[in-house]
Amino acid sequence: PNCIRLPLLSGHLDAGSGAIFTLQFTRLDAFWKGVLEFRKRIDPQSLFSESRSVMHSVLELLTAMQVSFACTDHGLKAPRTSEPNKQNTSSPNTASAARARFRTVALIARSLGSFTHRHHISLKESTGKLTGMKYRNLGKSGLRVSCLGLGTWVTFGGQISDEVAEQLMTIAYENGVNLFDTAEVYSAGKAEIILGNIIRKKCWRRSSLVITTKLYWGGKAETERGLSRKHIIEGLKGSLQRLQLEYVDVVFANRPDSNTPMEEIVRAMTHVINHGMSMYWGTSRWSAMEIMEAYSVARQFNLIPPVCEQAEYHLFQRDKVEMQLPELYHKIGVGVVSWSPLACGIITGKYENGIPDSSRASLKSNQWLREKILSDDGRKQQAKLKELTHIAEKLSCTLPQLAIAWCLRNEGVLPKITAHVASDIDKILGNRPHSKKDYHH
Protein backbone atom coordinates (compact mmCIF):
# COMPACT_ATOMS: atom_id res chain seq x y z
CA PRO A 1 0.00 0.00 0.00
CA ASN A 2 0.92 3.67 -0.25
CA CYS A 3 2.77 5.05 2.73
CA ILE A 4 3.11 8.50 4.33
CA ARG A 5 5.34 9.27 7.34
CA LEU A 6 4.06 12.21 9.36
CA PRO A 7 5.96 14.01 12.15
CA LEU A 8 3.93 15.03 15.18
CA LEU A 9 4.47 18.36 16.89
CA SER A 10 4.67 18.62 20.66
CA GLY A 11 1.35 19.45 22.24
CA HIS A 12 -0.67 17.08 20.06
CA LEU A 13 -2.70 15.35 22.75
CA ASP A 14 -0.32 13.05 24.66
CA ALA A 15 2.25 12.52 21.90
CA GLY A 16 5.78 13.47 22.83
CA SER A 17 7.86 15.92 20.83
CA GLY A 18 9.44 14.32 17.78
CA ALA A 19 6.98 11.42 17.62
CA ILE A 20 6.49 9.90 14.17
CA PHE A 21 3.66 7.78 12.87
CA THR A 22 3.49 5.90 9.60
CA LEU A 23 0.19 5.97 7.76
CA GLN A 24 -0.61 3.31 5.18
CA PHE A 25 -3.63 3.39 2.92
CA THR A 26 -4.92 1.23 0.12
CA ARG A 27 -7.19 3.86 -1.40
CA LEU A 28 -6.33 7.57 -1.19
CA ASP A 29 -9.87 8.61 -2.10
CA ALA A 30 -11.32 6.55 0.76
CA PHE A 31 -8.82 8.10 3.17
CA TRP A 32 -9.65 11.69 2.18
CA LYS A 33 -13.35 10.94 2.29
CA GLY A 34 -12.85 9.71 5.84
CA VAL A 35 -10.97 12.87 6.83
CA LEU A 36 -13.80 15.01 5.46
CA GLU A 37 -16.30 12.91 7.43
CA PHE A 38 -14.25 13.58 10.57
CA ARG A 39 -14.71 17.31 10.03
CA LYS A 40 -18.46 16.89 9.65
CA ARG A 41 -19.16 14.45 12.48
CA ILE A 42 -16.51 14.91 15.16
CA ASP A 43 -16.23 18.00 17.36
CA PRO A 44 -12.49 18.84 17.58
CA GLN A 45 -12.80 19.49 21.29
CA SER A 46 -14.16 15.98 21.87
CA LEU A 47 -10.84 14.52 20.73
CA PHE A 48 -9.44 15.37 24.16
CA SER A 49 -12.05 13.23 25.89
CA GLU A 50 -12.51 9.48 25.99
CA SER A 51 -16.25 9.41 25.46
CA ARG A 52 -17.54 5.96 24.47
CA SER A 53 -19.83 7.43 21.81
CA VAL A 54 -17.02 9.53 20.33
CA MET A 55 -14.67 6.53 20.28
CA HIS A 56 -17.33 4.47 18.55
CA SER A 57 -17.74 7.11 15.83
CA VAL A 58 -13.98 7.40 15.38
CA LEU A 59 -13.51 3.63 15.03
CA GLU A 60 -16.40 3.48 12.58
CA LEU A 61 -14.77 6.16 10.42
CA LEU A 62 -11.39 4.47 10.74
CA THR A 63 -12.78 1.31 9.22
CA ALA A 64 -14.29 3.25 6.32
CA MET A 65 -10.96 5.00 5.67
CA GLN A 66 -9.23 1.65 5.04
CA VAL A 67 -5.98 2.70 6.68
CA SER A 68 -3.43 1.21 9.03
CA PHE A 69 -0.91 3.18 11.03
CA ALA A 70 1.63 3.00 13.83
CA CYS A 71 3.02 5.72 16.11
CA THR A 72 6.69 5.29 17.08
CA ASP A 73 6.19 7.22 20.32
CA HIS A 74 3.52 4.90 21.70
CA GLY A 75 3.66 1.79 19.54
CA LEU A 76 -0.02 2.26 18.79
CA LYS A 77 -1.43 0.19 15.96
CA ALA A 78 -4.81 -0.14 14.30
CA PRO A 79 -5.93 -2.68 11.73
CA ARG A 80 -7.36 -1.85 8.31
CA THR A 81 -10.41 -3.98 8.71
CA SER A 82 -13.31 -4.03 11.13
CA GLU A 83 -11.63 -6.57 13.44
CA PRO A 84 -12.20 -4.41 16.56
CA ASN A 85 -15.91 -5.09 16.23
CA LYS A 86 -15.30 -8.84 16.66
CA GLN A 87 -13.78 -8.37 20.12
CA ASN A 88 -15.58 -8.12 23.40
CA THR A 89 -15.76 -4.36 23.92
CA SER A 90 -16.35 -4.83 27.66
CA SER A 91 -12.91 -6.28 28.40
CA PRO A 92 -10.27 -3.93 29.87
CA ASN A 93 -7.69 -4.84 27.22
CA THR A 94 -10.14 -4.12 24.41
CA ALA A 95 -11.17 -0.80 25.96
CA SER A 96 -7.51 0.17 26.35
CA ALA A 97 -6.79 -0.76 22.76
CA ALA A 98 -9.80 1.23 21.61
CA ARG A 99 -8.58 4.29 23.49
CA ALA A 100 -5.14 3.85 21.96
CA ARG A 101 -6.60 3.64 18.48
CA PHE A 102 -8.80 6.62 19.24
CA ARG A 103 -5.85 8.77 20.30
CA THR A 104 -3.86 7.73 17.23
CA VAL A 105 -6.70 8.62 14.84
CA ALA A 106 -7.01 11.97 16.60
CA LEU A 107 -3.28 12.51 16.08
CA ILE A 108 -3.63 11.80 12.38
CA ALA A 109 -6.55 14.16 11.99
CA ARG A 110 -4.84 17.01 13.82
CA SER A 111 -1.44 16.46 12.19
CA LEU A 112 -3.03 16.60 8.75
CA GLY A 113 -4.55 19.94 9.64
CA SER A 114 -8.02 18.54 9.15
CA PHE A 115 -9.50 20.35 12.16
CA THR A 116 -9.83 24.07 12.72
CA HIS A 117 -11.02 25.87 15.84
CA ARG A 118 -14.76 26.41 15.89
CA HIS A 119 -14.20 30.17 16.02
CA HIS A 120 -11.76 30.17 13.07
CA ILE A 121 -11.83 33.28 10.88
CA SER A 122 -14.53 33.24 8.24
CA LEU A 123 -13.43 32.50 4.68
CA LYS A 124 -16.33 34.46 3.23
CA GLU A 125 -16.02 37.60 1.15
CA SER A 126 -15.77 41.08 2.56
CA THR A 127 -16.34 44.34 0.71
CA GLY A 128 -14.18 47.46 0.86
CA LYS A 129 -16.19 50.35 2.30
CA LEU A 130 -14.72 53.03 0.05
CA THR A 131 -14.10 51.09 -3.16
CA GLY A 132 -16.68 48.30 -3.19
CA MET A 133 -13.92 45.81 -4.03
CA LYS A 134 -14.53 42.32 -2.73
CA TYR A 135 -11.82 40.38 -0.87
CA ARG A 136 -11.39 36.66 -0.24
CA ASN A 137 -8.96 34.33 1.43
CA LEU A 138 -6.29 32.93 -0.85
CA GLY A 139 -7.14 29.24 -0.70
CA LYS A 140 -7.62 28.31 2.93
CA SER A 141 -4.80 30.57 4.09
CA GLY A 142 -5.43 33.74 6.06
CA LEU A 143 -4.17 36.01 3.25
CA ARG A 144 -6.94 38.34 2.03
CA VAL A 145 -6.70 39.24 -1.65
CA SER A 146 -8.88 41.35 -3.92
CA CYS A 147 -11.12 39.43 -6.31
CA LEU A 148 -9.45 41.28 -9.16
CA GLY A 149 -5.70 41.59 -9.59
CA LEU A 150 -3.42 43.35 -12.07
CA GLY A 151 -0.90 41.32 -14.05
CA THR A 152 2.18 42.59 -15.88
CA TRP A 153 2.70 39.98 -18.62
CA VAL A 154 3.59 41.54 -22.02
CA THR A 155 2.49 45.02 -20.93
CA PHE A 156 4.98 46.21 -18.28
CA GLY A 157 8.35 46.72 -19.92
CA GLY A 158 6.90 45.79 -23.30
CA GLN A 159 3.76 47.14 -24.91
CA ILE A 160 3.21 50.17 -22.68
CA SER A 161 5.40 52.97 -21.34
CA ASP A 162 6.44 53.27 -17.71
CA GLU A 163 4.08 56.25 -17.34
CA VAL A 164 1.07 54.27 -18.58
CA ALA A 165 2.04 51.37 -16.30
CA GLU A 166 2.02 53.75 -13.33
CA GLN A 167 -1.38 55.13 -14.32
CA LEU A 168 -2.88 51.65 -14.62
CA MET A 169 -1.47 50.50 -11.32
CA THR A 170 -2.64 53.68 -9.56
CA ILE A 171 -6.19 53.26 -10.89
CA ALA A 172 -6.19 49.64 -9.74
CA TYR A 173 -4.82 50.40 -6.25
CA GLU A 174 -7.17 53.34 -5.66
CA ASN A 175 -10.13 51.13 -6.57
CA GLY A 176 -9.26 48.44 -4.05
CA VAL A 177 -7.00 46.08 -6.00
CA ASN A 178 -4.24 44.81 -3.71
CA LEU A 179 -2.96 41.87 -5.80
CA PHE A 180 -0.20 42.62 -8.34
CA ASP A 181 1.41 39.75 -10.21
CA THR A 182 4.67 39.56 -12.14
CA ALA A 183 7.45 37.07 -12.98
CA GLU A 184 11.20 36.95 -13.44
CA VAL A 185 10.73 36.12 -17.12
CA TYR A 186 8.37 38.99 -17.97
CA SER A 187 10.24 41.29 -20.35
CA ALA A 188 13.48 39.69 -19.12
CA GLY A 189 13.04 41.16 -15.64
CA LYS A 190 11.94 44.65 -16.73
CA ALA A 191 8.37 44.07 -15.51
CA GLU A 192 9.63 43.50 -11.97
CA ILE A 193 11.82 46.61 -12.14
CA ILE A 194 8.93 48.80 -13.29
CA LEU A 195 6.56 47.35 -10.69
CA GLY A 196 9.12 47.97 -7.95
CA ASN A 197 9.79 51.55 -9.11
CA ILE A 198 6.08 52.36 -9.05
CA ILE A 199 5.61 50.98 -5.53
CA ARG A 200 8.61 52.96 -4.32
CA LYS A 201 7.50 56.17 -6.04
CA LYS A 202 3.89 56.01 -4.80
CA CYS A 203 4.98 55.30 -1.20
CA TRP A 204 2.18 52.79 -0.74
CA ARG A 205 2.33 50.85 2.53
CA ARG A 206 3.95 47.51 1.83
CA SER A 207 1.52 45.87 4.23
CA SER A 208 -1.40 46.98 2.02
CA LEU A 209 -0.06 45.14 -1.04
CA VAL A 210 -0.02 41.50 -2.13
CA ILE A 211 2.92 41.14 -4.52
CA THR A 212 3.47 37.85 -6.32
CA THR A 213 6.19 36.71 -8.68
CA LYS A 214 6.98 33.50 -10.54
CA LEU A 215 10.16 31.48 -11.00
CA TYR A 216 11.34 29.10 -13.69
CA TRP A 217 12.91 30.97 -16.63
CA GLY A 218 15.55 33.25 -15.14
CA GLY A 219 18.29 33.29 -17.77
CA LYS A 220 20.07 31.42 -20.55
CA ALA A 221 22.43 29.34 -18.43
CA GLU A 222 21.44 25.83 -17.41
CA THR A 223 21.48 26.82 -13.75
CA GLU A 224 19.31 29.89 -14.35
CA ARG A 225 16.12 28.03 -15.13
CA GLY A 226 14.05 25.28 -13.61
CA LEU A 227 13.01 24.63 -10.03
CA SER A 228 16.26 23.43 -8.50
CA ARG A 229 17.01 24.61 -4.97
CA LYS A 230 19.78 26.75 -6.46
CA HIS A 231 17.52 28.58 -8.91
CA ILE A 232 14.58 28.99 -6.53
CA ILE A 233 16.78 30.70 -3.94
CA GLU A 234 18.97 32.68 -6.36
CA GLY A 235 16.04 33.49 -8.65
CA LEU A 236 13.93 34.87 -5.83
CA LYS A 237 16.86 36.94 -4.55
CA GLY A 238 17.18 38.43 -8.04
CA SER A 239 13.44 39.18 -8.19
CA LEU A 240 13.54 40.91 -4.81
CA GLN A 241 16.44 43.09 -5.95
CA ARG A 242 14.56 44.14 -9.08
CA LEU A 243 11.36 44.76 -7.11
CA GLN A 244 13.30 46.62 -4.38
CA LEU A 245 11.40 44.63 -1.77
CA GLU A 246 12.43 42.60 1.26
CA TYR A 247 9.87 39.90 0.48
CA VAL A 248 7.05 38.90 -1.85
CA ASP A 249 3.74 37.62 -0.57
CA VAL A 250 3.54 34.61 -2.87
CA VAL A 251 6.25 33.01 -5.00
CA PHE A 252 4.97 30.70 -7.74
CA ALA A 253 6.66 27.77 -9.44
CA ASN A 254 5.88 28.95 -12.98
CA ARG A 255 5.56 25.43 -14.39
CA PRO A 256 6.36 21.86 -13.29
CA ASP A 257 9.97 20.69 -13.49
CA SER A 258 10.37 16.98 -14.24
CA ASN A 259 14.15 17.30 -13.84
CA THR A 260 13.94 18.25 -10.16
CA PRO A 261 12.67 15.93 -7.40
CA MET A 262 9.48 17.15 -5.78
CA GLU A 263 11.06 16.99 -2.33
CA GLU A 264 13.81 19.40 -3.45
CA ILE A 265 11.23 21.86 -4.79
CA VAL A 266 9.11 21.78 -1.62
CA ARG A 267 12.19 22.05 0.63
CA ALA A 268 13.47 25.06 -1.35
CA MET A 269 10.09 26.81 -1.17
CA THR A 270 9.94 26.12 2.56
CA HIS A 271 13.47 27.57 2.88
CA VAL A 272 12.63 30.90 1.21
CA ILE A 273 9.52 31.21 3.38
CA ASN A 274 11.38 30.40 6.60
CA HIS A 275 14.04 32.98 5.68
CA GLY A 276 11.48 35.75 5.15
CA MET A 277 11.83 36.01 1.38
CA SER A 278 8.19 35.04 0.76
CA MET A 279 5.07 34.59 2.86
CA TYR A 280 3.55 31.73 0.86
CA TRP A 281 4.26 29.68 -2.23
CA GLY A 282 2.07 28.40 -5.02
CA THR A 283 2.10 26.57 -8.31
CA SER A 284 1.30 27.66 -11.85
CA ARG A 285 0.17 25.38 -14.67
CA TRP A 286 0.66 22.29 -12.51
CA SER A 287 -1.63 19.29 -12.84
CA ALA A 288 -3.84 18.23 -9.94
CA MET A 289 -1.66 15.15 -9.50
CA GLU A 290 1.52 17.26 -9.23
CA ILE A 291 -0.09 19.60 -6.71
CA MET A 292 -1.24 16.62 -4.66
CA GLU A 293 2.28 15.19 -4.75
CA ALA A 294 3.73 18.47 -3.47
CA TYR A 295 1.17 18.52 -0.67
CA SER A 296 1.92 14.92 0.31
CA VAL A 297 5.68 15.59 0.34
CA ALA A 298 5.13 18.67 2.50
CA ARG A 299 3.07 16.70 5.02
CA GLN A 300 5.46 13.77 5.00
CA PHE A 301 8.53 15.87 5.86
CA ASN A 302 6.82 18.61 7.91
CA LEU A 303 7.37 21.21 5.18
CA ILE A 304 5.12 24.00 3.85
CA PRO A 305 2.61 22.99 1.13
CA PRO A 306 1.49 25.24 -1.76
CA VAL A 307 -1.40 27.54 -0.97
CA CYS A 308 -2.78 28.09 -4.48
CA GLU A 309 -2.54 27.20 -8.16
CA GLN A 310 -2.37 29.87 -10.86
CA ALA A 311 -4.34 28.54 -13.81
CA GLU A 312 -5.63 29.85 -17.12
CA TYR A 313 -9.36 30.45 -16.94
CA HIS A 314 -11.73 32.17 -19.36
CA LEU A 315 -14.78 31.50 -21.50
CA PHE A 316 -12.87 29.13 -23.77
CA GLN A 317 -10.73 27.39 -21.11
CA ARG A 318 -12.79 25.83 -18.33
CA ASP A 319 -12.09 22.19 -17.48
CA LYS A 320 -9.24 22.51 -15.00
CA VAL A 321 -10.64 25.35 -12.88
CA GLU A 322 -14.22 24.07 -12.87
CA MET A 323 -13.59 20.33 -12.57
CA GLN A 324 -10.20 19.57 -10.99
CA LEU A 325 -9.27 22.45 -8.70
CA PRO A 326 -12.47 22.66 -6.61
CA GLU A 327 -11.81 19.11 -5.41
CA LEU A 328 -8.26 20.08 -4.41
CA TYR A 329 -9.59 23.09 -2.52
CA HIS A 330 -11.96 20.97 -0.46
CA LYS A 331 -9.40 18.22 0.13
CA ILE A 332 -6.21 20.14 0.86
CA GLY A 333 -7.14 23.85 0.81
CA VAL A 334 -5.41 24.85 -2.44
CA GLY A 335 -7.01 27.99 -3.91
CA VAL A 336 -7.05 29.36 -7.45
CA VAL A 337 -5.54 32.51 -8.95
CA SER A 338 -6.82 32.59 -12.52
CA TRP A 339 -4.91 34.31 -15.30
CA SER A 340 -5.88 35.62 -18.73
CA PRO A 341 -9.65 36.06 -18.17
CA LEU A 342 -9.76 37.78 -21.58
CA ALA A 343 -7.83 34.97 -23.32
CA CYS A 344 -4.84 37.17 -24.21
CA GLY A 345 -7.22 39.84 -25.49
CA ILE A 346 -9.20 37.57 -27.82
CA ILE A 347 -12.40 38.07 -25.81
CA THR A 348 -12.20 41.87 -26.12
CA GLY A 349 -13.37 41.49 -29.73
CA LYS A 350 -10.40 43.43 -31.11
CA TYR A 351 -9.46 40.55 -33.42
CA GLU A 352 -12.84 40.33 -35.14
CA ASN A 353 -11.53 41.86 -38.36
CA GLY A 354 -7.90 40.76 -38.24
CA ILE A 355 -4.78 41.57 -36.21
CA PRO A 356 -4.50 45.26 -35.18
CA ASP A 357 -0.96 46.70 -35.33
CA SER A 358 -0.97 47.69 -31.66
CA SER A 359 -2.20 44.35 -30.32
CA ARG A 360 -0.06 41.73 -28.58
CA ALA A 361 -0.83 39.26 -31.39
CA SER A 362 1.11 41.56 -33.72
CA LEU A 363 4.33 41.14 -31.72
CA LYS A 364 6.98 38.82 -33.21
CA SER A 365 7.32 36.98 -29.89
CA ASN A 366 3.58 36.16 -29.98
CA GLN A 367 3.43 34.42 -33.33
CA TRP A 368 1.69 31.50 -31.57
CA LEU A 369 -1.18 33.82 -30.60
CA ARG A 370 -1.51 35.15 -34.13
CA GLU A 371 -1.73 31.62 -35.52
CA LYS A 372 -4.31 30.69 -32.90
CA ILE A 373 -6.54 33.64 -33.77
CA LEU A 374 -6.37 32.98 -37.52
CA SER A 375 -7.02 29.23 -37.19
CA ASP A 376 -10.39 27.55 -37.75
CA ASP A 377 -10.93 27.34 -33.98
CA GLY A 378 -10.09 31.02 -33.70
CA ARG A 379 -12.73 31.95 -36.26
CA LYS A 380 -15.29 29.83 -34.42
CA GLN A 381 -14.46 31.67 -31.21
CA GLN A 382 -15.01 35.03 -32.91
CA ALA A 383 -18.45 33.85 -34.06
CA LYS A 384 -19.34 32.90 -30.49
CA LEU A 385 -18.13 36.26 -29.24
CA LYS A 386 -20.58 38.01 -31.58
CA GLU A 387 -23.42 36.09 -29.94
CA LEU A 388 -22.09 36.89 -26.47
CA THR A 389 -22.02 40.58 -27.38
CA HIS A 390 -25.84 40.55 -27.52
CA ILE A 391 -25.99 39.23 -23.93
CA ALA A 392 -23.55 41.93 -22.82
CA GLU A 393 -25.73 44.61 -24.42
CA LYS A 394 -28.80 43.30 -22.60
CA LEU A 395 -26.88 43.56 -19.32
CA SER A 396 -25.64 47.07 -20.20
CA CYS A 397 -21.99 46.10 -20.04
CA THR A 398 -19.12 45.51 -22.45
CA LEU A 399 -17.97 42.10 -23.63
CA PRO A 400 -14.75 42.27 -21.55
CA GLN A 401 -16.76 43.21 -18.46
CA LEU A 402 -19.09 40.27 -19.07
CA ALA A 403 -16.13 37.90 -19.49
CA ILE A 404 -14.42 38.96 -16.26
CA ALA A 405 -17.68 38.91 -14.30
CA TRP A 406 -18.37 35.42 -15.69
CA CYS A 407 -15.06 34.23 -14.24
CA LEU A 408 -16.25 35.42 -10.83
CA ARG A 409 -19.84 34.28 -11.24
CA ASN A 410 -19.71 31.34 -8.82
CA GLU A 411 -19.00 33.71 -5.95
CA GLY A 412 -21.96 36.01 -6.65
CA VAL A 413 -19.79 38.98 -7.55
CA LEU A 414 -22.13 40.22 -10.28
CA PRO A 415 -25.82 39.71 -9.44
CA LYS A 416 -26.76 40.31 -13.09
CA ILE A 417 -25.27 36.96 -14.09
CA THR A 418 -28.21 34.91 -12.95
CA ALA A 419 -28.58 31.18 -13.49
CA HIS A 420 -30.60 31.95 -16.64
CA VAL A 421 -27.91 34.23 -18.06
CA ALA A 422 -25.17 31.71 -17.22
CA SER A 423 -27.21 29.02 -18.98
CA ASP A 424 -27.51 31.19 -22.10
CA ILE A 425 -23.74 31.70 -22.11
CA ASP A 426 -23.15 27.96 -21.76
CA LYS A 427 -25.41 27.28 -24.74
CA ILE A 428 -23.41 29.67 -26.90
CA LEU A 429 -20.03 28.36 -25.78
CA GLY A 430 -20.98 24.70 -25.89
CA ASN A 431 -18.02 23.76 -23.67
CA ARG A 432 -19.50 23.36 -20.20
CA PRO A 433 -17.55 20.64 -18.37
CA HIS A 434 -19.64 17.70 -17.18
CA SER A 435 -19.06 16.08 -13.82
CA LYS A 436 -19.59 12.39 -13.13
CA LYS A 437 -22.93 13.28 -11.56
CA ASP A 438 -24.15 14.72 -14.88
CA TYR A 439 -23.67 11.35 -16.56
CA HIS A 440 -25.72 9.56 -13.91
CA HIS A 441 -28.92 11.47 -14.70
Q: What is the pLDDT of residue 320?
A: 92
235 closest CA partner among 306, 165, 184:
184
Q: How many residues does the chain have?
A: 441
Strand partners, 144: 137
pLDDT bin (cut points 50, 70, 90) of residue 104 is low
> Pick from 13, 1, 37: which is nearest to 100 by CA?
13
State yes or no: pLDDT of 232 exceeds 70.
Answer: yes
Contacts of 147 (CB under 8 A, 6+ apart): 125, 133, 134, 135, 136, 408, 411, 413
Residue ranges of domains in the chain: 135-342+408-429
Inform me whether the pLDDT recorded for 262 exceeds 80.
Answer: yes
Per-residue pLDDT, 256: 97
The pLDDT tens digits of the residues spanning 50-63 come to 566 665 666 566 56
pLDDT band at residue 397 using 50, 70 and 90 as cut-offs = very high
Report pTM.
0.71
293's CB contacts (< 8 A; 6+ apart) are: 262
| pLDDT tens digit sequence for 202-211 | 999 999 999 9
pLDDT of residue 18: 45
216 is catalytic: no
pLDDT tens, residue by residue, 75-102: 444 444 444 444 444 455 665 665 555 5
Better-scored residue on pLDDT, 122 or 403:
403
- Of 69-78, 130-139, 253-262, give the lowest mean pLDDT range: 69-78
Range ranked top by mean pLDDT from 137-141, 250-254, 432-436: 250-254
Q: Is 291 left (phi over 0), alpha (psi -120 to 50) or beta?
A: alpha
**Residue of 135, 173, 186, 313 with catalytic role:** 186
385 CB contacts (<8 Å, ≥6 apart)? 346, 347, 349, 352, 399
Look up the CATH number of domain 135-342+408-429.
Answer: 3.20.20.100
How confident is the prediction for the chain on average, in pLDDT? 81
Residue 234 has pLDDT above 50, yes or no: yes
pLDDT at 420: 83
